[in-house]
Chains A and B, each alone.
Chain A
């Protein structure tokens, strides 16, 4: 039988909170943030009804409507009687999301070789000897400082932004993949060789397969740095994208657009993370995280 809740449990280690408690506590900070924001917004609107720093709930709804149903200022207007799907497809939010997502997923795809390089560095000693020091050094270079070079090399179009993301995240991912692959017990590699495995078998069928869940987790942890470099690139030189829109709206103090965009970006990252987590669990049911 479960022991009844005691206030002292809140700072105890050897307790197992009831499901009702864990669910309630996990939402407390969200509710508190919303309440605080509403209070702050009401206070500002009491002083200045036209305040744009903390838009009211009504202003936020109008902002969301404008983002989701109306095209950007620089685009042609859409017929107000057009079907909802058409209006959404030509909307500002849709256009920016597609532009940012394209860059994000191209960069993510370009990071796959980085993961493979990390694996090879761990498994093949000569590859490790060749790349380890260089990648360690490269990891210490602040990626944003490379942006002017990337602009010169790739121009100010798409590729400079994509390469900024790749250059920013790849070294960390390579080193992480290398460390993860090195954690495979030596006994298993030896055993695989006694079972007539080739070098390629050991690298791809033993080590890579075993570390795949941890590699996916590593990619999940790097989603935010990836988005950070995407935003940096888009804010500096872009004509579309989620960060570009936030940067434009900042000039107009358009918090009614910025706040929904901010939440949308967080939700998108959360969604990608959840998809990777789900795929990881489905594809690797044997994985036992520590």
Chain B
């Protein structure tokens, strides 16, 4: 079941994304109350359409509203004004059509690796009371085999599958978290700084794996990151968010929204290309300018946190 769905794309190259709109944000703004009479605007004037199968990377300094944007799509938060739709339907709550991989706390500590990965499909198959039927246990056996196969492809060893999350390294935990989300075959995958806490080599390996998985099943991915290289390496489209200031009431947070030209190159060659290097410098400069503007307006300089070791 899973293995069939994740069958590799024979071409291995990026094909143009389908044109159907999967996620749409229309005139979205988000304000948080800071006192009884005042509110802070986090997002303003967001108009965004994300097509099915796109790999959208959201980049920006801390506090610019990247995670808020993700939570709006997920249905964890609602916009103060505007509308958010997923697959043409307005988002009214947390949507099971969206997979979610946060930076941490993504696994249930009381379940083993296999238990975590099988949790979603088990829920989807039947409710707790339906689990007395023999058909459920047959389904569970086949699900277990699928989960094992998928985890092996994600680089987990057989002996790791019965371990609890705390017994795994950070990289392994994130692999399991991605597997947990992808086992549900979500049409939309939302990743909130999913690789931020990992060391560079684990991060690079997971980036490669995520890209391969995206090529295979082509879900729509919205990936939030601080890291410019990671953004340009993974995505097909880049959205650079700037921090909103209350004195610019109508200015949108979206500083840059562009297709990433290097996405057409094979993954392994992307980083070495001169185009990639130029693009990275360009985006970094843009991000720096955004951050400088914030400094002039008295906001703390947080660009350093978005440092780019790669």
Question: Nearest chain B CB to A114's CB is how many angstroms away?
Answer: 22
- Contact in complex: B180, A195 (CB < 8 Å): yes
Pair A210/B108 contact, Cβ less than 8 Å: yes
Q: Is the CB of A195 within 8 A of B120?
A: yes
Partner of A196, one of B109, B128, B184: B184
- For residue B184, which residues in chain A have a CB less than 8 angstroms away from its CB? 194-196
- Give the total of B residues in contact with A, Cβ under 8 Å: 30
What is the CA–CA distance of A288 and B109 in the complex, to the nearest angstrom?
A: 9
Tell me whether B105 and A198 are in contact (CB under 8 A).
no
| A190 adjacent to B104 (CB under 8 Å) | no
In the complex, which of the residues B74, B109, B119 contacts A195, with contact meaning CB atoms closer than 8 Å? B119
Return A210 CB to nearest CB of chain B, in Å.
Answer: 5
Residues of A contacting B164 with CB < 8 Å?
Answer: 285-286
Q: How many residues of A contact B (CB 8 A)?
A: 23
Stretch in B13-21, B92-100, B136-144, B211-219 with 4+ CB within 8 Å of A: B92-100
Q: A285-B164, A286-B164 are in contact. Are A194 and B74 (CB under 8 A)?
A: yes
Min Cβ gap A182→B in Å is: 14
Main secondary structure of the interface of B (DSSP, over half): loop
Per the bound structure, the CA–CA distance linking A174 and B5 in Å amounts to 46
Report yes or no: B110 in contact with A190, Cβ–Cβ below 8 A: no
The answer to whether B99 and A194 touch across the interface, beta carbons within 8 angstroms, is yes
The answer to whether B95 touches A187, judged by C-beta atoms less than 8 angstroms apart, is no
- A193-B124 in contact (CB<8A): no
**Is A281 an interface position by the 8 A CB rule?**
no
Distance, CA A210 to CA B119, complexed state (A):
15
Please indicate the chain B residues that have their CB under 8 angstroms from the CB of A197 in the complex. 123
Q: A187-B104, A285-B164, A288-B109 are in contact. Are A193 and B94 (CB under 8 A)?
A: yes
A-contact 0/1 string along B161-189, CB 8 Å cutoff: 00011100000000000001100101000
Residues 98-136 of chain B: 1 if any A CB is under 8 Å from the residue's CB, otherwise 0? 111010111011110000000110011001100000000
Encode A225-242 as 1/0 by CB contact (under 8 A) with B: 000000000000000000
Is there an interface contact between B124 and A187, defined as CB atoms closer than 8 Å? no
In the complex, what residues of A have CB within 8 A of residue B127's CB? 198
> What residues of A have a CB within 8 angstroms of the CB of B96 in the complex?
193-196
Q: Assuming A195-B96, A196-B124, what are 13 further A-B pairs, CB within 8 angstroms?
A: A190-B94, A191-B102, A191-B180, A194-B96, A194-B98, A194-B184, A194-B186, A195-B180, A196-B96, A210-B108, A210-B110, A212-B110, A286-B164
Query: B residues near A, CB below 8 A?
Result: 74, 76, 93-96, 98-100, 102, 104-106, 108-111, 119-120, 123-124, 127-128, 164-166, 180-181, 184, 186
7 tightest Cβ-Cβ pairs between the two chains A and B: A195-B120, A185-B105, A193-B94, A286-B164, A187-B102, A187-B105, A196-B123
